[in-house]
Homo-oligomer: A and B are copies of this chain.
Amino acid sequence: MPYDVVTFGEVMLRLSPPDFMRFEQTTSYNANAGGAEMNVAVACARLGLDSAYVTKLGDNSIGHFIRNKAREHGVDTSHVQWDPDSRCGVYYVEFGAAPRTNRVIYDRKHSAISKIKPGEVDWANILKGTKLFHTSGITPALSASCAESTMEVLKIAKEQSCKVSYDVNYRGKLWTPKEAQKFTESASEYIDVLITTEEDTKVVYGIEGKDYEDVAAKLTDKFGFDVVVITLRETPSVLLNKWSVFAYSDGKVYRSPTYDIEVIDRLGGGDSCSAGFIYGYLVEKDLQKAVDFGSAFSALKHSVPGDLAFVYKEEVEKLMKGRERGLRIDR
């Protein structure tokens, strides 16, 4: 402490059948840890930011496994809360190929973090001097007390003059659009960097526009965000995607290049984008670099198995610059 970035949210044991196997036929699962905010904390650490991750986990080997995965990348996990009586959430992910989509089964109800309450985490201390706090719309959606805890930390962040980035990340299985809208609108006054998609903006804010710029402008007008970041994914097939990032701030527009992606594992792709953007925003203090960093980092993450961004900053920079040798072997 103080940190560059602190994130807060749920992380789950992630179980995925290998080799495109379906849940009903698999005889084994690959085990990883995944959750939007831990993904961001890890991705920030990969870029050299001093990051900490706060969550609440079941105090058993599954929880320890998850914690270790963050620690492996140098993320500070000393503020994680431990609950010996609750379970860790689990999510099952099945990888498809066109026309079969990827499929996720969440088994996250009754998890330790869903029971977290305001006052449990010493946020004032953790955020003192921290540059940026990040969470996503998944955290408040987990339970009523999670929503309260999220609001609590947003307010404390503001008091501590800590920037706030917030990824809308609407999950229809967790709350209704109405519930999402109610929380998100209240929360928006504390948010500096809003990360969203066109679709989520419509669902959560009820805002549409004639194009991305228009949507971002309306959001900014209404809530006064410092920056609105919109991520754009095209899915011509399951194994080939296109990815780009757009940011709007103070009437100006910043667009990243569009990457053609041979998708190995798209889970966590958006989260590395957030981390890349945060890096550009906090360190480079240049929004064009932020969208470029976010899109390139995310494009690279899509080729890495697991939610976590095993990518080097140098690789991101090299991709941003392009290279004479193109997609040849790096040897």
The stretch from A89-97, A122-130, A153-161, A245-253 touching chain B is: A89-97
Q: Using A18-B19, A72-B72, A264-B20 as known contacts, say yes or no to A99 and B331 having CB atoms under 8 A apart.
A: no
Report the bound CA distance from A207 to B173 in whole Å.
50
Q: Using A110-B109, A327-B237 as known contacts, say yes or no to A305 and B19 having CB atoms under 8 A apart.
A: yes
Are the CB atoms of A65 and B23 closer together than 8 Å? Answer: yes
Shortest CB-to-CB span from A331 to chain B, Å, is: 4
Are the CB atoms of A99 and B259 closer together than 8 Å? Answer: yes
Q: Assembly of this chain: how many copies?
A: 6
Q: What is the interface of chain A mostly: helix, strand, loop, or mixed?
A: loop
Residues of B within 8 A of A233 (CB): 328
Are the CB atoms of B29 and A105 closer together than 8 Å? Answer: no
Task: With CB as the reference atom, state the residue of chain B lying closest to A102.
Answer: B329
Q: Using A27-B30, A328-B235 as known contacts, say yes or no to A262 and B104 having CB atoms under 8 A apart.
A: no
* Chain A 268-306: CB-based contact to B (< 8 A → 1; otherwise 0): 000000000000000000000000000010011011111
Report the bound CA distance from A85 to B236 in whole Å.
33
Report the bound CA distance from A305 to B103 in whole Å.
16
Are the CB atoms of A27 and B24 closer together than 8 Å? Answer: no
The stretch from A56-64, A139-147, A183-191, A214-222 touching chain B is: A56-64
Residues of B within 8 A of A238 (CB): 262, 327
Are the CB atoms of A103 and B329 closer together than 8 Å? Answer: yes
CB proximity to B under 8 Å, residues A60-77: 60-62, 64-65, 68-69, 71-74
- Of all A-B residue pairs in the complex, the 5 with the closest CB atoms, nearest first, are A23-B61, A104-B331, A97-B262, A100-B303, A235-B327
